[in-house]
Amino acid sequence: MTEAKKYNAPVTNPESAPFWEAAKQGKFLIKRCTACGEPHYFPRSICPFCFSDKTAWEEASGEATVYTYSIMRKSPTGPYAIAYVTLKEGPSLQTNIVDCDFDKIGIGQKVKLVWKPTDGAPLPFFTAV
C-alpha cells in the first residue's frame, strides 16, 4: 500500500483564485472562450488561441482518457505515475494517476477525477475507472 503523500497547497493568485475556490467545493473548472468557443486548461484570463478576454469558467465532467504516462521508479517518496490525460471536454493536462495499480495504467485507459487534500485548496488527480 502507498502511504498518503503530502502535497503543498497551491499558492494561488487573482487569476486562478476562482479555480481553487471551486476546488474547495469539489468542482473542477476549466475555461472556455466565448469568442472562439475553444476550451483550455490550465485556466487563463485571456484565451491562448484567439487572445480574446471573453473567457468563462465552466465545470468539467472529470472524465478523461490517458494520452501518455510514465512510471517514475526512482523517487525519494516512492514510485508514482505521471501522465497527460485528455478531458472529455477536449483539453489535455498534466497529472498523476493515483489510487490504482500501475499495471492498470495504459494509453487510452479511462480515468476520472479525484481530489487530494492539502493545507489549502485540494489538488486534482485522476484514477483508473
Partner 1 sequence: MTIKGKAYIAGIYEHPTRHAPDKSTAQLHAEVAKGAIEDAGLTKDDIDGYFLAGDGPGGLWPMVDYLGLNTKKLRHVDSTETGGCSYLIHLGHAAEAIAAGKCSVALVTLAGKPRTGVMPPRAAGAEVDFEAAYGATTHNAYGMCAMRHMHDYGTTSEQLAWIKVAASHHAQYNPHAMLKEVVTVEDVLNSPMIADPLHRMDCCVVTDGGGAMIVTTAEIAKSLKKPLVRLIGHGEAMKGPRGGKDLDLTYSAGVWSGPRAFEEAGVTPKDIKYASIYDSFTITVLMQLEDLGFCKKGEGGKFVADGNLISGVGKLPFNTDGGGLCSNHPVNRGGMTKILEAVRQLRGEAHPKVQVPNCDLAIAHGTGGLLGVRHAASTCILERV
Q: Which residues bind partner 1 (CB under 8 A)?
A: 7-8, 10-13, 16, 20, 38, 40-42, 44, 48-49, 67-75, 80, 82-84, 86-87, 90-96, 107, 123
Closer to partner 1 at the Cβ: 84 or 114?
A: 84
Residue 71's DSSP bridge partners are 81
Closer to partner 1 at the Cβ: 38 or 58?
A: 38
Q: Whole-angstrom Cα distance, residue 27 to residue 31?
A: 13
Q: Whole-angstrom Cα distance, residue 36 to residue 33?
A: 6
Closer to partner 1 at the Cβ: 69 or 113?
A: 69
Q: Whole-angstrom Cα distance, residue 64 to residue 104?
A: 15
Least Å distance, CB 5 to partner 1, is: 9
Which is it for strands 110-116 and 29-33: parallel, antiparallel or unpaired? Answer: unpaired
Least Å distance, CB 109 to partner 1, is: 12
Least Å distance, CB 88 to partner 1, is: 13
Determine the 3-state secondary structure of 86 from DSSP: strand
Q: Whole-angstrom Cα distance, residue 58 to residue 49?
A: 17
Least Å distance, CB 15 to partner 1, is: 8
